[in-house]
Each structure stands twice: as structure tokens, then as C-alpha cells.
């Protein structure tokens, strides 16, 4: 992997306390309480419509609880806007800026934070080596494979050293072989950065392969929780 020495992230714990989320007459989350420890790779497993993505969006700040509290690092952020929560996000369909190069996509959160150009350049180079995309910084997203695009999305999510990274089925659009390769990369990145990760999937095998701990979400309730069998 070269000589990159990834900076350890100051990981934060995440918590939901008696959270309800209603959309009109539909209750998506019903008095949900959940705690994710700092540095943990935690997976929410469940079928479509179980409330997994809504749970992520509550921590991200894109939706607000109808009742209950949302905490990051022990701080109530229930009414704090997304940009002040400093969380990284990775989506299933990459959400890259198509008109920006790979390097510019990764640099974007650092530019928004107001970092100096030399610092941004050094951090981008470090991250591209970390996700094994060194030498591809000047390409556009359309010139990359699906797996490479998802690596760019991961690098961008880690760029500002967020206290936690939220991942919404990030491997769901990839074929099986590529999913397995990127699962190994996700485990490596977690080990090397120390980030808190909350991961959403409907794939039980993927959940057990990746996670320190798995919770099963059905109809807005946690139905079961267990430690994953794969040692990180």
C-alpha cells in the first residue's frame, strides 16, 4: 500500500434515546434507543422499509426526530444542521460530482472547511494512496469503474477526519466479486483510521463479515443484536 500513514480519527460515539420518527400518519421509528461506541464498526441489518436509512439520516441531520434525542459524542444534536455535525457519508450510488476530477471530489470537504491549498493537496494525496487510487487524481468519475468510484466516495467521506462515517448500502450497486474485494478494503480502512462506522445493509453475510456488532431492525424496532463472527 505504499508508505502512507493514515491519521487516526478522533472517533465519537453515537446515540439515539427513545427516538420516534413519523412521516404523516406513518411511524417509521418507534421509541428507538441505540448506542454505538467510539471506533466501533456497527451495522444496521434489515429489509427495505425497516427504518435503517431513516436512522442514518437522523444522525446525519437530514431528518429530525418527532420525539426523543439524537446524540453525537454525548452532545444533543437533535436540532443541529448537518454541516455542523461533521459526519462523513457514503451512499450506494457514490454521489460524486461528475464535473470534478477525482482529486477535486476528495478535496471538496476540505475546501468547504477553509483548509489551505498545500494542506489540501497533501491530504488528498494521502487519501488516494490510502484507498489505492494513487495516480488517478486527474480522472473524472465517468472514467473510473464502479469500484473505483466507490473508493473515491470513501476517500471523500474520510477527508475531513469526521468523528463518524455513515454508510448507506455503499456496496449494493456492485457485483459480488467486487463487493467482496471492497468489504476487505472497508475492514482495512476501519482498522487504519479508527473511525466510528455505522453501516446499513440488507445482506446478512455482509453484515457479519464487516462488523464488530450487528443490530437487526424491523418495523422501527431493534429485534436482535449480536457480535459479528468476523474478527477485525
Residue 134 parent element (H or E)? none
Name the 3-class secondary structure at 37: coil
Task: Tell me what pLDDT residue 91 has.
Answer: 87
Confidence (pLDDT) at 226: 57
Instruction: Mention every residue, 6+ apart, whose C-beta is less than 8 A from residue 212.
Output: 40, 41, 42, 227, 228, 232
What pLDDT score was predicted for residue 227?
A: 52
Question: What's the pLDDT at 7?
Answer: 60
Tell me which long-range contacts 28-36 makes (C-beta under 8 A, separation of at least 24): 28/54, 28/220, 29/54, 29/55, 29/58, 29/220, 30/219, 30/220, 30/221, 31/67, 31/68, 32/68, 32/220, 32/221, 32/222, 34/215, 34/222, 36/164, 36/196, 36/198
Domains and CATH numbers, the chain: 8-87+162-232 (3.40.50.300), 98-161 (no CATH)
Q: Model's pTM, two decimal places?
A: 0.88
Q: Would you give per-residue pLDDT tens digits along the chain (232 residues)?
A: 344 455 667 889 999 999 999 999 999 999 999 999 999 999 999 998 899 999 999 999 999 999 999 999 999 999 999 989 999 999 888 889 999 999 999 999 999 999 999 999 999 999 999 899 999 999 999 999 999 999 999 999 999 889 899 999 988 878 888 888 889 889 988 998 899 999 999 999 999 999 999 999 998 888 865 554 343 3
Amino acid at each position: 500500500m505504499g508508505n502512507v500513514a493514515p491519521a487516526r480519527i478522533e472517533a465519537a460515539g453515537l446515540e439515539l434515546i427513545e427516538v420516534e420518527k413519523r412521516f404523516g400518519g406513518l411511524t417509521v421509528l418507534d421509541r428507538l434507543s441505540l448506542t454505538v461506541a467510539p471506533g466501533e464498526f456497527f451495522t444496521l441489518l434489515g429489509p427495505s422499509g425497516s427504518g435503517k436509512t431513516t436512522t442514518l439520516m437522523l444522525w446525519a441531520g437530514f431528518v429530525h426526530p418527532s420525539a426523543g434525542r439524537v446524540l453525537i459524542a454525548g452532545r444533543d444534536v437533535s436540532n443541529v444542521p448537518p454541516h455542523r455535525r461533521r459526519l462523513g457519508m457514503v451512499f450506494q450510488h457514490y454521489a460524486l460530482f461528475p464535473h470534478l476530477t477525482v482529486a477535486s471530489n476528495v478535496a471538496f470537504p476540505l475546501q468547504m472547511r477553509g483548509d489551505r491549498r498545500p494542506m489540501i493537496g497533501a491530504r488528498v494525496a494521502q487519501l488516494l494512496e490510502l484507498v489505492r487510487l494513487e495516480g488517478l487524481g486527474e480522472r473524472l468519475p465517468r472514467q473510473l469503474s464502479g469500484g473505483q468510484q466507490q473508493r473515491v466516495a470513501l476517500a471523500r467521506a474520510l477527508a475531513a477526519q469526521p468523528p463518524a462515517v455513515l454508510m448507506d448500502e455503499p456496496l449494493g450497486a456492485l457485483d459480488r466479486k467486487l463487493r467482496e474485494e471492497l468489504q476487505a478494503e472497508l475492514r482495512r480502512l476501519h482498522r487504519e483510521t479508527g473511525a466510528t462506522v455505522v453501516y446499513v445493509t440488507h445482506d446478512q453475510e455482509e453484515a457479519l463479515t464487516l462488523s464488530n456488532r450487528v443490530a437487526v431492525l424491523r418495523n422501527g424496532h431493534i429485534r436482535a443484536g449480536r457480535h459479528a463472527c468476523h474478527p477485525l
